[in-house]
Amino acid sequence: MVHHDTFVIRNLLIGVFSDEEFTSFCYDFFHSVYKSFSSGMSLNQKIQRLIDHCDRNEDFDKLLDNVQKCILTSMNNILLSLQHQKIRALENFCNSKHRCIISIMGTKPT
């Protein structure tokens, strides 16, 4: 049996997820843990429930694989957003450059 550092895992989960995101994560990947949540539970209490579940069921590999999947998805979404911002900036630059060239040439832009 492999020992997992629950302190590190707990801090990873706190750093990666908001309360709402963590609840959704558990719904998607650890539904039995999700069903044990009650209204008013803190994020730390929910995380402790998941850690207890993983410890009892030797599910830490599943937990870490799915956290990695969520992190990679978030990173891809951020990169796509940055690419769209760069494209819009380039389009704006080209449009303004086009207007300047037309203005210098003495013709009206269409």
Q: What is the tens place of the pLDDT at every residue in 24-57?
A: 999 999 999 999 999 999 999 999 999 999 999 9
pTM of this prediction?
0.70
What pLDDT is stored for residue 62 in this prediction? 96
97 versus 47: the higher-pLDDT residue is: 47
**21 pLDDT above the threshold of 90:** yes
What pLDDT is stored for residue 77 in this prediction? 77
What pLDDT is stored for residue 104 in this prediction? 58
Residue 104: its H or E element: helix 60-105
In contact, 12 and 66? CB cutoff 8 Å: no
Q: Within 13 Å of residue 93, how many CA atoms lie on the same side as its CB?
A: 6
